[in-house]
Amino acid sequence: MPFHADHDPLRQKIRLLLAPAHEMVTSLHVLADPSHHAGSAAWAEAALRAMTPDLRGEVEYFGHHFNQWLDIADLLHHAAQDAPIDRVLAALKAVPAHEVARVACGEEDGGLTADVQRAREAARSHPEAFKRRLLACLSRYREDVFAAEWELRRPLLQAALAREAAHLDRTDPIAYLTGLNSRISYDSATGELIFHKYRDFRYAVVELDRITCIPSTFAAPHLMIGNVGRDLIIFVNVSTAAAPQPARVPPDLLAALKALADETRLAIFKAVVKQPRYTQELATNMGLAEPTVSRHLKMLREAGLVSSEKQGGFVYYRADLHRMDALPQLLRAYFRN
């Protein structure tokens, strides 16, 4: 973000960024404990309800065991912070697995519950598996939940970015930084910015290479900061009062539409509409690997479109035509409301 710099060394360290990947991880932080983010509680409830059970389980797993996603956010420094999310995830994919596990586990193990300690030890012991699981969760969350939410919130964040840039241009940089939150102060004797949280975090301005200010609709009401090395991040709280509030798609309808929005899955569903079939039979008839068929059947079952029943050594799947017959009515109700 260009400024009308006046050769002030501090002013030149400050940059304002629109950072979609940071906003996505901040939204995951909200989902880890919605009760601490009253302004986003309704959004969090709707988002969690709309997720498939397996995605919700993964989001909750990382949130519970890895510091509510806050340490994972530090991994975003491996990519340009204002890059599109797919580029950030591609950059994260190139990071060595042991480094991903190290950063995600944080630096403090004291006072952790036994299950959190076990999860972190598993991440350190099997970093490749941990990295794959994390990337799969982030990719699915972006596709299923955050992509649409970002399009709603981006105009608010772009407007906030313009306001902050104009404010910084006409304000003393120390006054600008301390004005971002009532819990930020400056110690002129030591030249330190102080962030008053559960303890005071102090950063000597002269030792910082960069101070990045990122507008966020999910950070409020907290003071959220991050740092990696000599780079400091400050989240600038942006109100969503003016954001459009579209009617949420009913979770049952959304799950059914997602389950049917795939050519292979649709063919599998058609096959079990005709008669109950088992996984191996479907795999042979359709020329697919059994794990692939199992994955598609799982999504159809989670959407309530198929049910399963064990008969002998096989698990048979059958279509739930009552759920299928209800789809047109659900669609009409959604579009007319």
Burial class (CB in 10 A: 0-12, 13-18, 19+), 134: buried
What dihedral do alpha carbons 85, 88, 90, 95 form, nearest 10°?
-150
- Show the low-confidence residues of the chain (pLDDT under 50): 1-6
Gap between the Cα atoms of 330 and 332, Å rounded: 6
- Given a contact cutoff of 8 angstroms between Cβ atoms, the answer to whether 134 and 62 are in contact is yes
- Range 242-247, long-range pairs (CB < 8 A, 24+ positions): 242/156, 243/152, 243/153, 243/156, 243/217, 244/152, 246/152, 247/334, 247/337
**Phi first, then psi: what are they for 145, rounded to 5°?**
-125, -55
Fold classification of 251-336 is Arc Repressor Mutant, subunit A (1.10.10)
pTM of structure: 0.71
The pLDDT assigned to 39 comes to 86
Sketch the domain layout of the chain as residue ranges. Answer: 9-237, 251-336
- Pairing mode, strands 210-216 and 231-237: parallel
- Given a contact cutoff of 8 angstroms between Cβ atoms, the answer to whether 208 and 19 are in contact is no
The pLDDT assigned to 296 comes to 94
Omega within 30 of 0 (cis) for the link into 221: yes
Which residue(s) pair with 317 in the sheet?
277, 308
